[in-house]
Chain A
Amino acid sequence: MSIRVQEADFDLSTEIAALRQARPELGAVVAFIGLVRDINAGAAVSELMLEHYPAMTQKALESIETQAKQRWDIDEVLVIHRVGRLLPTEQIVLVAVAGAHRGPAFQACEFIMDYLKTQAPFWKKEQTPDGARWVDARSSDDAAAQRWTQDLP
């Protein structure tokens, strides 16, 4: 189990190589990367500021990983989330899941991402032509997380 919150960018190949190292039993790696878009809610976005609650972030992400591991037969989870100032096209988050088979890895990756978006204490503030604004939470994210409470694997 590995969780990192950092300002620096990350390299997918390097991270996956480290996750797989000396693990011949792994048959599948699923990775999701979230990116900063240059448009949101109808406005051009020139920059994002990512704030978080450090003491809680680690605890919340560990709890999400633990739930994923209890629910699916997976071996390794890596979550990297960036904070601070980010520009459009930059990478913002990586969730990688490794296991023996692809099915559980795909599902666990999506579950972790859905829970991260609704339970981990990060907040985005974006710069638009009309000034800075805090990003509003989306009800579609709540719905995405909610479906895991009904849709048992």
Chain B
Amino acid sequence: MALTVLYFARLRERLGLAQEGIALQPNLTSVGDLLNYLRARGPQWQAALGDEKVVRVAVNQDLAQNDTHLKDGDEVALFPPVTGG
């Protein structure tokens, strides 16, 4: 078991990735931890995820905040502000 992380729209294109599995770790237990973990992957990730204003996060299909707790099996989606309607 791990997290399933999904990327949508502009983020998916910038990162070249639609979905991946990430294992929870002692220092990776919240949405904020996950964002920091991903940003540390390199300049491309830092550039795509660095600005808090352009990244929205949903956990199990509900909008989440940085302090939202993560557990094994959660589906975490990262996406830009929505533009439907």
Interface residues of A (CB under 8 A from B): 34, 50-53, 55-56, 59-60, 81, 92-93, 113, 116-125, 134-137
Contacts and interface: CB of A to CB of B under 8 A. Distances in A.
Given A34-B85, A116-B85, A53 B8 contact: yes
Nearest to A138: B83
B85 A135 contact: no
B58 A56 contact: yes
Interface of B: 6, 8-10, 13, 58, 61-63, 75, 77, 79-85
A123 B80 contact: yes
B82 A121 contact: yes
B58 A92 contact: no
Contacts of B62: 56, 59
B82 A137 contact: yes
Nearest to B6: A53
A29 B82 CA distance: 28
Nearest to A123: B9
Given A51-B9, A59-B61, A59-B62, A123 B85 contact: no
A120 B13 CA distance: 20
Contacts of A137: 80-83
A123 B6 contact: no
